[in-house]
Chains A and B, each alone.
Chain A
Amino acid sequence: MGGRRAAVPLAPILLAGVPALGAAVPASAADLAYGEYLSAECITCHRTTVDEGAIPAIVGLPKQYFVNALRDYRAGRRANAVMQNVARSLDDEQVEALAAYFASLNDDGGTEP
């Protein structure tokens, strides 16, 4: 029984590859990969193709705007129970990675040329 790598534990993985981030530092490929992974959680509710309805599009938002919004939700300065709950589950590094990833995308969900 067991696939080729079934015995390899998944938990303690790969964050070593993600450097500490500052807003002024350009996003690395590792940041974007981490951000892309984390973004899967966002797009359950935020559509990637259109901005309509009560849940806004977040694709292509300026990085600092994204970071500030998440910090405001986390601190309770912005109202919405879902987003406050989401923001409190993300640390600063994760917020930066998400912001870098979404900022890197065009409106159509594709990657910038």
Chain B
Amino acid sequence: MISALTRREFGLATGASGLALGTAALAPGLLNAAEGRVVVIGGGPGGATVAKYVAKDSGGALAVTLVQAEPKFTTCFYSNLYLGGYRDFDSITHDYDALREKHGVDVVIDRAVEVDPVGRKVTLEGGRTLDYDRLVVAPGIQILYGAIEGYSEAAAEIMPHAWQAGPQTRLLRQQIEAMEDGGLFVLAAPPNPYRCPPGPYERVCSVAHHFKQHNPSAKILILDAKEKFSKQSLFEDAWATYYDGMIEWIPGDFGGRVLAVDPEAMTVTTEDETYQAAVANIVPAQSAGAIAHQAGLTDDSGWCPIVPATMQSRMNDDIHVLGDACIAGDMPKSAFSANSQAKVCAMAIRAALTNADAFPPRFRNTCWSTVAPDDAVKVGATYEATEEKIASVEGFISEVGESAEVRGQTREEADAWYASITEDVFG
């Protein structure tokens, strides 16, 4: 009855990790100490996935601790649909109950403040210290407030970035709903590289969808640091089709780059002009989350170089870096990418600490963007690990002029994907 073999039994039957796994079944507590400790910093789509897969697939042989600042996680992906009124906030917010109860992950609600890569310890804000054999750093991004004059954490309470989901997202939604009739919504779009390349332009579609129903004389101005952007022809086609006359985009080479903001006056200044905004959504340049810098994992770019086949830091073999914080070559910074990288990373960690099989790494990404209630577009690719980087193998992108049926299916596919990936990450 070969089909009846579970993975654990397979390990026993073939001798691969058989002793360790068999013993784990009898005395997990003892074995946790003997086999290895894995600490994961950050409970987003990268960190939560790697914690779950290491715990689940090591059959109790590895002790996994996930350090996550908040007890619940609101996904930045799909937060644009909340902003547009398509989804409620609860539907994009997830807890860690399944990671704890189904998979045995020790979820610690605290902040990692220091990594000691020599002593292999993580110190938490609450005072605890966690020893590790392997550390996964998946902190996402930090906002570089200093990149725009006048912008700061305090300014973001008036001019939200909403590029880390949570209270910022709620604040921006409140401002969109309360915006004066005919007001100007300004979105300052960041320079590359940043989290979710199509995100600013999908956000504009969502905000325009809200205004079309509730504030039809409102205007949206995108002030961009870049000259071009992801899925550009698809977004521009959607803006003309659904929100004609509402949206204007000023690229970086035509004076779009935002140099300064004044939250009190609600002004946004480029090299050419100062704009009076009713709502200002300021998304500055970004870098890897702060703990990655403290741990010495970043290079001059502010992001973390990694070994593609294992997601190990190029700065330290005991540390892996996942998701938005890492330099993932041709892969965009997305939840899908982070989830994909996490599975490669989990396999590498189990292979290193428990003799589990290591198969060749596989990477893929797909990003869906909702442009109207029954219309979404997508872009995706498969990738491979080369010595130098995670390299694109083959990709695809939606086309301008696709049928309403295809776009409607893509829109439904996006919702089905959201349900699946959040179950894969948090379930």
Give the interface of A toward B (CB within 8 A): 1-6, 8-11, 13-15, 17, 26-30, 32-34, 36-38, 40-41, 43-49, 52-55, 81-82, 84-86, 88-89, 103-104, 111-113
Contacts and interface: CB of A to CB of B under 8 A. Distances in A.
Interface in B384-423: 385, 393-398, 409, 412-413, 415-417, 419-421, 423
A6 B169 CA distance: 41
Nearest 3 A/B pairs, CB to CB: A53-B416, A54-B412, A55-B416
Given A3-B352, A37-B359, A111 B396 contact: no
B352 A38 contact: no
Interface string B333-352: 00010011001000110011
Contacts of A28: 2
Main secondary structure of the interface of A (DSSP, over half): loop
B380 interface: yes
A112 B382 contact: no
Contacts of A9: 309
B255 interface: no
A45 B312 contact: no
Given A44-B420, A81-B396, A113 B360 contact: no
A53 B415 contact: yes
**Chain B CB within 10 Å, residue with most, of A13, A53, A86:** A53
- B: interface residue count bin: 35 or more
A38 B420 contact: no
A10 B421 contact: no
A86 to B, nearest CB: 7
Given A15-B360, A26-B2, A44-B424, 18 more contacts: A4-B353, A6-B312, A6-B317, A14-B358, A15-B359, A17-B357, A29-B5, A32-B2, A32-B5, A33-B357, A44-B339, A47-B416, A49-B427, A52-B416, A54-B416, A85-B381, A85-B396, A86-B382
A87 to B, nearest CB: 10
Contact of B366 (A10, A82, A103, A112): A82
Contacts of A45: 366, 416-417, 420-421
B61 to A, nearest CB: 14
A41 B359 CA distance: 13
A54 B393 contact: no
Interface string B285-314: 000000000000000000000000110100
B26 interface: no
A40 B343 contact: yes
A94 to B, nearest CB: 9
A104 B3 contact: yes
Contact of A14 (B5, B357, B361, B382): B357
Interface stretch (B7-15, B158-166, B213-221): B7-15
A40 B3 CA distance: 18
B318 interface: yes
B2 A10 contact: no
Contact of B420 (A37, A46, A85, A112): A46
28 contacts: A3-B134, A3-B318, A4-B133, A5-B351, A13-B357, A27-B3, A29-B13, A29-B14, A33-B10, A44-B339, A44-B417, A45-B416, A45-B417, A47-B416, A47-B423, A48-B423, A49-B423, A53-B413, A54-B409, A54-B412, A81-B380, A81-B396, A82-B378, A85-B395, A86-B364, A89-B382, A89-B393, A111-B3
A41 B353 contact: no
Contacts of A14: 357-359
A99 to B, nearest CB: 12
Contacts of B395: 85
A3 B134 CA distance: 7
Contacts of B310: 10
A36 B347 CA distance: 12
Contacts of B13: 29
B317 A36 contact: no
